[in-house]
């Protein structure tokens, strides 16, 4: 029958320009290489891998019988609990009405990109999915370059210039995306920078999409501040359980909508989108999330402990880069660093490495280091930046992560934690230093 009629036909218009997520594709490739028995040091995937906290695991188990569809925005009790959590942790005055939940913050972000404004403004570099989601819903992106010597903070003058250029060309940039702590740079916006950007957004009547998924993994002295603290009427803050509680696969995300009419309009739009696509967050996960956002001191301590472990592991990688002479801004949250290899352009060109993609491939083939090129985050391809993530090394199996938590509880000394329990992290750092030395001396 197939021969007679040929394969099914559908127009390509829906597929045009779609690219697989760079992070997920790299992850598949590394798994393939592991499957072939090759040693690969996986610095490419940003997944927090610590164990599920026992109280949250117990809540999920106890609610496995919850099988009905729940309200699209989440059960009321959960929305109340999350509002309380944001008040306690971030001093934000949030009413439960403003809280919406979804299957991961990525899905909520997609719904918001669909619902909000004509064009996006993105810092360059930015996390992979913002631009690809904008592309999917047919919205143009205006990139604003940022600089490592300014810790990748958006400059208001640059922002204004990009917006004016867009408007001069009949564009309408209406949505500013911010992300602190940041993926891919690992940096955080200072409270002053957040205030300045929030004030600018208010003056320009922009909506701010503030991706704060790493907020509880901040590990510097400066506290995390949300633009919603300064500009609540024009900010949507996004969060979830994927990073600070290592529950990425449970798919739980949330958005704090603005109070007042903007928030009300957005809630209705999100209700329609959720109702037509995902209906609600999986019922048992909503009940488990109640515990994750409760005031439980055990859960709070666990979040702090995981953040300290991420900090030690990420700083070790950062220190290794600095000692090897690789320019890199010090990380202050999450588990990423974003080094530049631009100063070795000439010796790299001799090895036929001209772009960040070439560089990532060269490191994978020759040093078994899996990294992501800066181009995946919107950087020009010829800028030789890479994103390295500390989160996957030495956490490959359930046994390893469980033992990391156990040994860190007994002895939180950073040097011993790395020396005695992080062979992969140490080896990956050594290989980076070897690579740099090879570039210098060959
Ligand atoms: C900056 C950023 N935002 C959002 C997400 C998605 O998180 P979620 O698991 O809540 O969809 C990620 C995950 O990698 C991320 O790095």
Same domain, 424 and 436: yes
Q: What's the 373 CA to ligand 1 centre distance in angstroms?
A: 18
Q: How confident is the model at residue 441 (pLDDT cuts 50, 70, 90)?
A: low
The predicted structure's pLDDT at residue 320 = 98
Q: Does 99 map to a domain?
A: yes
The lowest-confidence range among 38-52, 188-202, 301-315 is 38-52
Residue 47 domain boundaries: 12-51+298-441
Tell whether ligand 1 has an atom less than 6 A from the beta carbon of residue 123. no
Rounded to whole angstroms, how far apart are CA atoms 372 and 365? 14
C-alpha torsion angle, residues 138, 177, 141, 121 (rounded to 10): 130
* Atom from ligand 1 closest to the CA of residue 179: 1
CB-count burial class (<10 Å; 0-12, 13-18, 19+) for 330: middle
Are 391 and 340 contained in the same domain? Answer: yes
* Secondary structure class of 273 (helix, strand, coil): helix
For ligand 1, whether the C-beta of 127 sits within 6 Å is: yes
Is residue 2 in some structural domain?
Answer: no
Residue of 21, 46, 106 with the most ligand 1 atoms within 8 Å of its CB, for mutation? 106
Asked if 227 and 215 touch (Cβ cutoff 8 Å), the reply is: no
**Taking 80 as the threshold, does the pLDDT of residue 185 lie above it?**
yes
Q: Which pLDDT score is estimated for 32?
A: 86
Choose the final residue of a domain: 265, 295, 325: 295
Whether pLDDT at 12 is above 80 = no
Task: Report yes or no on 5 lying in a domain.
Answer: no
Q: What percent of the chain has pLDDT over 90?
A: 88
Ligand 1 close to Cβ of residue 250 (< 6 A): no
CA–centroid distance, 87 to ligand 1, in Å, is: 22
Decide whether any atom of ligand 1 lies within 6 Å of the 103 Cβ: no
Q: Check residue 396 and give its pLDDT.
A: 86
Q: Classify residue 418: in a domain, yes or no.
A: yes
Domain CATH number, residue 210: 3.40.640.10
Summarised one tens digit per residue, pLDDT across range 23-49 is 777 777 888 888 888 889 999 989 999
Q: 105 C-alpha vs ligand 1 centroid, how far in Å?
A: 6
Average pLDDT value over all residues in the chain: 94
- Report d(CA 216, CA 212) in Å as an integer: 9
Q: Which one of 295, 317, 337 terminates a domain?
A: 295
Stretch 388-403: mean pLDDT: 94
DSSP annotation string for 124-168: ES--HHHHHHHHHTT--EEEEE--GGGTTPPPHHHHHHHHHHHHH
Which of 295, 321, 341 is at the close of a domain? 295
Answer whether residue 234 shows pLDDT above 60.
Answer: yes
* Three-class DSSP category at 330: coil
Measured from the CA of 23, which atom of ligand 1 is nearest?
A: 14
For residues 225 and 258, state if they share a domain. Answer: yes
Q: Does residue 191 share a domain with residue 66?
A: yes
Question: Residue 30: helix, strand or coil by DSSP?
Answer: helix
pLDDT digit string (tens) for 311-335? Answer: 999 999 999 999 999 999 999 999 9
Q: Indicate yes or no: pTM above 0.75.
A: yes
Distant-in-sequence, close-in-space partners of 64: CB < 8 Å, separation ≥ 6: 284
**Residues 114 and 130 reside in one and the same domain:** yes
Does any ligand 1 atom lie closer than 6 A to the CB of residue 48? no
What pLDDT score does 4 carry? 80
270/264 Cα distance (integer angstroms): 10
**For residue 334, which atom of ligand 1 is closest to its CA?**
16
What is the C-alpha to C-alpha distance for residues 133 and 45, in angstroms, rounded to an integer?
20
């Amino acid at each position: 029958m197939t021969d007679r009629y040929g394969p099914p036909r559908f127009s390509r218009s829906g597929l045009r320009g779609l690219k697989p997520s760079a992070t997920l594709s790299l992850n598949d490739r590394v798994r393939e290489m592991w499957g072939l028995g090759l040693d690969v040091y996986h610095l490419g995937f940003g997944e927090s891998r610590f164990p599920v906290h026992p109280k949250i695991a117990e809540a999920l188990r106890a609610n496995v019988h919850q099988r009905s569809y729940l309200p699209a925005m989440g059960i009321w009790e959960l929305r109340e609990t999350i509002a309380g959590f944001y008040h306690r942790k971030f001093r934000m005055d949030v009413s439960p009405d403003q809280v919406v939940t979804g299957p991961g913050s990525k899905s909520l972000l997609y719904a918001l990109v669909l619902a909000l404004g004509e064009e996006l403004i993105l810092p360059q570099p930015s996390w992979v999915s913002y631009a690809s989601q904008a592309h999917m819903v047919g919205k143009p992106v205006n990139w604003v370059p940022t600089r490592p010597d300014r810790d990748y903070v958006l400059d208001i003058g640059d922002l204004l210039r990009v917006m004016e250029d867009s408007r001069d060309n009949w564009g309408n940039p209406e949505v500013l995306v911010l992300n602190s702590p940041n993926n891919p740079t690992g940096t955080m916006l200072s409270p002053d920078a957040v205030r300045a950007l929030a004030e600018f957004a208010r003056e320009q009547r922009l909506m701010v999409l503030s991706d704060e998924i790493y907020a509880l993994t901040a590990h510097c002295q400066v506290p995390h501040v949300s633009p919603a603290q300064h500009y609540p009427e024009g900010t949507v803050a996004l969060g979830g359980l994927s990073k600070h509680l290592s529950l990425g696969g449970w798919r739980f995300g949330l958005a704090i909508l603005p109070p007042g009419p903007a928030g009300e309009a957005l809630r209705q739009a999100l209700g329609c989108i959720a109702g037509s696509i995902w209906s609600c967050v999986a019922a048992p996960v909503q009940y488990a999330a109640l515990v994750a956002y409760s005031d439980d001191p055990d859960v709070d301590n666990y979040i702090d402990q995981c953040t300290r472990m991420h900090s030690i592991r990420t700083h070790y990688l950062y220190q290794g880069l600095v000692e090897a002479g690789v320019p890199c801004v010090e990380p202050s949250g999450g588990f990423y660093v974003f080094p530049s290899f631009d100063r070795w352009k000439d010796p790299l060109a001799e090895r036929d490495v001209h772009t960040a993609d070439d560089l990532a491939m060269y490191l994978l083939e020759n040093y078994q280091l899996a990294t992501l090129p800066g181009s995946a985050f919107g950087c020009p391809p010829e800028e030789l930046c890479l994103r390295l993530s500390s989160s996957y090394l030495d956490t490959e199996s359930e046994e390893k992560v469980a033992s990391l938590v156990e040994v860190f509880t007994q002895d939180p000394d950073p040097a011993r934690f790395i020396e005695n329990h992080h062979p992969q992290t140490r080896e990956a750092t050594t290989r980076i230093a070897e690579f740099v030395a090879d570039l210098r001396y060959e």
